[in-house]
Amino acid sequence: MTIKEVISIIEGQIAMPQAEDFDNVGLLCGVQDRNVSGVLFCHDALENVIDEAITRNCNLVVCFHPIIFSGLKSLTGKNYVERAVLKAIENKVAIYAIHTAFDNDYFGVNAGICNQLGLKNQKILQPKKNNLKQLTVYVPNEYSEQLKEALFSAGAGNIGFYDECSFKIEGNGTFRPVEGSNPFSGQQNVRENAGESMISVIFESFKQNQIIDAMKEAHPYEEVAHQIYSLDNENQYSGLGMYGEFDEEMDEKYFLRFIKDKFNIEIIKHSDFTNKKIKRVGVLGGSGASGIKSALAKKCDAYITGDLKYHDYFLAESKMLICDVGHYESEQWVAQQLFEILSQKISTFAILKSSEKTNPVNYFL
């Protein structure tokens, strides 16, 4: 199996186009057509992780954080990024990053946190906006099922935990082929009346090109009458952060001890106590100050994230307990999640998790 084929499996499970625009996801270095000897999952593709991949005969490293984030003007080994990338290239090790594509995934980073905490009724905290579109297309009645199948195969009609969703209305369409046309039915310069179906499907915007291509391929007409609309609806199944609820509420100090145990940490930075019970909890792995107001709007009793600044804690307004467990600590289950995703699909070569430490933050207790 080639690196390209492994990447195809990963991207079949995690939609990479849902990554944030600022991010740098995908294949960062390496040759796609090379056969895979092994895959190593890690948090950060640092030099020690590349050494581990070489030792363990893995020529594909799948990392969460992209080691190349901004442009590189040279590769001389002068810093930790260049040293890792140089070593990977020299030893024919490919590096592939997923970062915010997995942050935004319904079953991604934040679902992993919720599952570790035992939160129920999980929902996206900050649903993606300007992410959904609607296609309306007209087709002869006898071709409507063929067209729907093509649209569904291209990814249209997926809404949450449902797929193959569409709406169809039958009616009468008219058209008149003019000079230069090659009509599927009718004659030039004669108005044609045809029994047609109007088919409507919703899709995520990043799928537009493949869906339009599939529509044109399956449609019998020379010119396909269709419209595409951008929807104001938020995508409730893609976005940053999640929130959910405990079966039983708990007091704040018990909740903090519970969090320390679940995250296996010694220190939690938190805002003032609210003297309220904790039942609904919001989470956002990594740097999550942007989710504080969303958690308040969702009436969360507590919010767990990392990398908060001094003034971020004031945003709690004594209405919610804000907890900073650390950036790496909040994302610590990612490698295991990715390992499980790929292990279910591939059994022909080694799929491993890195044992190297890459968290740059240390604590003196």
Query: Average pLDDT, whole number, for the chain?
Result: 96
Q: Is the distance from CB of 13 to CB of 98 less than 8 angstroms?
A: no
Give the integer Cα–Cα distance in Å for 227 and 14: 28
Tokens of 317: 């307004």
What does the alpha-carbon distance between residue 335 and residue 64 come to, in Å, rounded to a whole number? 8
Q: Give yes or no for residue 15 having a pLDDT over 90.
A: yes
How many CB atoms are located within 10 Å of the residue 264 CB?
8
* pTM (2 d.p.): 0.92
Residue 343's pLDDT is: 86
* Tens digits of residue pLDDT in 263-316: 999 999 999 999 999 999 999 999 999 999 999 999 999 999 999 999 999 999
Q: Are 102 and 15 in contact (CB under 8 A)?
A: no
The whole-number average pLDDT for the span 27-41 is: 97
Spatial distance between the Cα atoms of 233 and 183, rounded to a whole number of angstroms: 37
User: For residue 349, what pLDDT band results from cuts at 50, 70 and 90?
Assistant: confident
Pairwise CA distance, residues 364 & 120, whole Å: 35
Residues 100-131: tens digit of each pLDDT: 999 999 999 999 999 999 999 999 999 999 99
Return the pLDDT at 164: 97
45 phi, psi to nearest 5 deg: -85, 65
Helices 208-218, 144-153: axis angle to 10 degrees equals 150
Tokens linked to 18 = 């849902």
3 state DSSP class of 263: helix
Predicted pLDDT at 346: 81
- With bands split at pLDDT 50, 70 and 90, how would you rate the model's confidence at 63? very high
> Residue 187's pLDDT is what?
87
Q: Which two structure tokens, joined as six digits, stand for 35? A: 């056969």
Cβ-contact 343, 351 below 8 angstroms: yes
What pLDDT shows up at residue 23? Answer: 96
User: Which tokens in the block code for residue 272?
Assistant: 């003032």
- Concatenated DSSP letters of 123-190: EEEEEESS-EEEEEEEEEGGGHHHHHHHHHHTTTT-BTTB-S--EEEEEEEEE---TT---SSS-TTS
In a 3-state reduction of DSSP, which class is residue 239? strand
Instruction: Name residue 29's amino acid.
Output: C
Burial of 360 (0-12, 13-18, 19+ CB in 10 A): exposed
Report the half-sphere exposure of 123 (CA within 13 A, side-chain side): 15
- DSSP percent split of the chain into helix, strand, coil, nearest 5: 30, 30, 35
**pLDDT category of residue 348 using cuts at 50, 70 and 90:** confident
pLDDT computed for residue 293 by the predictor: 98
* Average pLDDT value for residue range 339-347: 85
pLDDT tens-place string over residues 158-200 = 988 999 999 999 999 999 999 888 888 888 899 989 999 999 9
Closest-CA residue to 240 (of 18, 14, 12):
18
Span 218-227, average pLDDT: 95
Maximal C-alpha separation, the chain: 87
The pLDDT of residue 185 is: 85
Whether 143 and 216 have beta carbons less than 8 Å apart is answered as no
**Angular region, 54: left φ>0, alpha ψ -120 to 50, beta rest:** alpha
Predicted confidence (pLDDT) at residue 204 exceeds the cutoff of 90? yes
Neighbours of 141 (CB within 10 A): 13
Q: Which residues pair with 239 in a beta bridge?
A: 127
pLDDT (mean) for 312-341: 96
